[in-house]
Amino acid sequence: MGMKVTIYDVAKKAGVSIATVSKVINNNTGNMRESTKQRVKKAMEELNYHPNIMASALMGKGTKTLGLLVPDISNPFFSEIAKVIEDRAHEKGYSVIMCSTDENEEKEKKNVELLQSKLVDGFIVGSTYRDKSIVQNLTKAGVPVVMLTQDDPVIDVSKVFVDDFKGGYEATIHHLQNGHHKIAIISEQRALASVKRTEGYLQALKTYGIQPRQEYMVRTRGTIANGIKAFGNLFQLPEPPTAIFACNDQLAIGVMLGAKEKGIKIPEQLSLIGFDDTILARATYPRLTTVAQPIAEMGKTVVDLLIEEIRLGCSKKERILYNPELIIRETTDKASKPDHIAKTE
Amino acid sequence: MGMKVTIYDVAKKAGVSIATVSKVINNNTGNMRESTKQRVKKAMEELNYHPNIMASALMGKGTKTLGLLVPDISNPFFSEIAKVIEDRAHEKGYSVIMCSTDENEEKEKKNVELLQSKLVDGFIVGSTYRDKSIVQNLTKAGVPVVMLTQDDPVIDVSKVFVDDFKGGYEATIHHLQNGHHKIAIISEQRALASVKRTEGYLQALKTYGIQPRQEYMVRTRGTIANGIKAFGNLFQLPEPPTAIFACNDQLAIGVMLGAKEKGIKIPEQLSLIGFDDTILARATYPRLTTVAQPIAEMGKTVVDLLIEEIRLGCSKKERILYNPELIIRETTDKASKPDHIAKTE
DNA sequence: ATGAAAGCGCTAACAA
DNA sequence: TTGTTAGCGCTTTCAT
């Protein structure tokens, strides 16, 4: 009972031609006798027939599969959004192949090639491609691509992302309003989003007339381990910062862990803000103040957009910008010594 | 420059037949002139040719794609192991399609069907299937399947998992050794692994001559929210437990959050142990004592096993059992009032 | 050592 | 309304 059942078996069983079966499969039953249709359907069920997607893909009908490229699936931000993407895709009859590129150039290229050979109808690119030509070649070849998270002007496709500048700005303003002057930023090395967040950070400082300091601006990969390291370096400075804006929650957790180890109290001695609002932000104690991205919305939108472009056969080149939201929890507080002001009080 | 280049284009350019090109693609160059081979290779490169996997799949060569079914990709345990699986698969030239089944029966069935149509060469099943026939039909149809995490005797395939009984036993013994008598367990409703962990829990109690109490045994879905709820219920008991064994880290985090809210101190007033040793266990404060699964090992093994079965064309039906390891961190401590013993001291 | 030709399971004109 | 047939791009005997 292991033999694969094909369209021929169904046709024979239903006493029709394979063309008729094909029409039933594809719902081209415009002018087909209802009885015929039913007979075919019954035969398909009885034989437990499932059309071979490969064969229809060969005919240019696509594979009903989406490729999802993320820099690191073990980062909760990406695993959370991957879940949303996968759900939405399935709702629409698509499956998704996911690749973690690990910010590794070779892997980036290999992953795309792996998915390319028509295995995939379109790509959602959440990774930070150093070699832009990888993505550019895709679009040049007519493969639908939507970028997630990165608003890279060099790559001319639809994009779904939050206003990173605003997120960085608001986070920093919050520190500032709490009386902090010595505010550090830990940003993700390769992420374009982090560049924007840094610009927001700088703008906020400027608004308050504060000169940015090079030693307060750390760039690194966005892992917990690097957050710990970054904190260690910042903490060793002759004048350590009293507040930190970490460009993702993992880095922020790293800071919390590092601070804990050194006996630095958060938020009493160090105010901290993360970015993403992943599960991590709620799981820590104290709970992390962070800039939320609308993960559910973004995931859903990026899928809908991509599928639409697949159907249309061309890119709509939309730039869908979401609003980040500062979620104030327990890692931020007033500066304990608001400098000169404190002295006069 | 957008036209797809086929084997015919390569053949024409190299001045050979498509059969020859095919041989080069598949490395059947046993008795082929080296010069011919090089000519073909050069043509392939110059045309940037990539074989169409669909077409070769149609010929029964497989898709070089693995299906991964997990109950919930946003659970760090699964996203962490998914990353490992994906890495290993890519190393071996396979891609992986991932589906979150969300412990939803309909989705389970739909996901499998989605992947079935020969889209996938084999399955890694990490989900808890209520309807066993879904997986059974797969193996009956000759599709390679390896189970991950669940050692279900009803399903006769290879399996990769930890000794859940031992994990549950050791966690509970640790509580017991700390002088706790009132130990609750929060287990995952549908996971077979949780059943085993519960058995270990019961065995440990028995060893210490402690009668299990029904009200200390909570079963629920393994999310943070449910952890909070479960703690709430346990806490309302006339005699609340002084220690909790949560069957995954997410539940444990929920307990921590719930305890925080009610002002219950961990570990002073409540000892807590989780399971999995995900990032969550290290991100919380205090850091979570938990039972570690060797995620990296397990992920690698399950891929290797599946690919081997795909190549062999038959199931090896191995049961690969890993050792869980209790990682003692900061959420467990001696019972503050070791009952009658405390009184005499 | 290389090539011709028959499919793999399906779709889409075009016939009937 | 239904069936015939020519491919889609590739692999694989079997000839040459």
Q: What is the CATH number of the domain that holds B38?
A: 1.10.260.40
Give yes or no for residue A1 having a pLDDT over 70: no
Which positions in chain B touch A73 (Cβ < 8 Å)? 79, 82-83, 86
Nucleotide in closest CA–C1' contact with B9: D9
**pLDDT band at residue A343 using 50, 70 and 90 as cut-offs:** very low
Query: Does A123 lie in the same domain as A268?
Result: no
Residue B56 to chain A, least CA–CA distance (Å): 9
Considering only CB atoms, A83 lies closest to which of B51, B73, B96, namely B73
Q: Is the peptide bond before B324 cis (omega within 30 degrees of 0)?
A: no
B59 domain residue, yes or no:
no
Q: What is the CATH number of the domain that holds B111?
A: 3.40.50.2300
Considering only CB atoms, B283 lies closest to which of A82, A95, A283, namely A283
A192 domain residue, yes or no:
yes
Q: Which amino acid is at B125?
A: V
CB proximity list for B126: less than 8 A, separation 6 or greater:
B68, B69, B70, B71, B78, B81, B147, B148, B149, B150
A58 domain residue, yes or no:
no
Which bases on strand C have an atom closer than 7 Å to a protein beta carbon?
1-5, 7-13
Average pLDDT over residues B174-181: 97
Considering only CB atoms, A54 lies closest to which of B58, B114, B282, namely B58
Query: Does A235 lie in the same domain as A247?
Result: yes
A56 domain residue, yes or no:
no
Residues within 8 A of A (CB atoms), B 78-97 only: 79-80, 82-83, 86-87, 90, 95-97
Query: Does A313 lie in the same domain as A211?
Result: no
Give yes or no for residue B129 having a pLDDT over 90: no
**pLDDT band at residue A228 using 50, 70 and 90 as cut-offs:** very high
CA distance A171 to B79: 28
A4-34: pLDDT as tens digits: 899 999 999 999 999 999 999 999 998 899 9
Alpha-carbon separation of residue B180 from B174, B205, B240, B246 (angstroms): 9, 10, 12, 15
Considering only CB atoms, A50 lies closest to which of B72, B113, B224, namely B113
B122 domain residue, yes or no:
yes
Determine the structural domain holding residue A136 and report its residue range: 65-162+294-323
Query: Does A315 lie in the same domain as A226?
Result: no
Among A6-15, B29-38, B133-142, the range scoring the smallest mean pLDDT is: B133-142
Per the structure, how many domains does chain A have? 3
B206 domain residue, yes or no:
yes
Query: Does A113 lie in the same domain as A42?
Result: no
Residues within 8 A of B (CB atoms), A 274-293 only: 279-280, 282-285
Query: Does B111 lie in the same domain as B32?
Result: no
Q: In this complex, is the C-beta atom of B252 within 8 Å of any C-beta atom belonging to chain A? A: no
B60 domain residue, yes or no:
no
Query: Does B171 lie in the same domain as B263?
Result: yes
Query: Does B114 lie in the same domain as B103?
Result: yes
**Mutation target among B52, B54, B104 for the A interface, most CBs of A within 10 A:** B54
**Mutation target among B75, B114, B134 for the A interface, most CBs of A within 10 A:** B114
Give yes or no for residue A113 having a pLDDT over 80: no
**pLDDT band at residue A118 using 50, 70 and 90 as cut-offs:** low
CA distance B100 to A98: 12
Give yes or no for residue B340 having a pLDDT over 50: no
A144 domain residue, yes or no:
yes
Q: In this complex, is the C-beta atom of B22 within 8 Å of any C-beta atom belonging to chain A? A: no
**pTM for this predicted structure:** 0.86
Place of tokens 């493969």: A143
B53-74: pLDDT as tens digits: 889 989 888 888 899 999 888 8
User: In terms of CA atoms, which chain A residue is nearest residue B6?
Assistant: A117
Contact A116 B282 (CB under 8 A): no
B3-28: pLDDT as tens digits: 689 999 999 999 999 999 999 999 99
Q: How many other CB atoms are there within 10 angstroms of residue A297's CB atom? A: 15
CA nearest to B198, candidates B221, B175, B172, B162: B172
CA angle centred on A304, ends A133 and A315, rounded to 5°: 40
Query: Does A319 lie in the same domain as A288?
Result: no
**Cβ proximity of A24 and A54 under 8 Å:** no
Which positions in chain B touch A284 (Cβ < 8 Å)? 283-285
Residue B69 to chain A, least CA–CA distance (Å): 12
Query: Does B36 lie in the same domain as B155?
Result: no
Residue B155 to chain A, least CA–CA distance (Å): 18
Tokens describing residue B201:
């829990």
Query: Does B257 lie in the same domain as B154?
Result: no
Which positions in chain A touch B111 (Cβ < 8 Å)? 90, 95
Contact B99 A95 (CB under 8 A): yes
Query: Does A213 lie in the same domain as A156?
Result: no
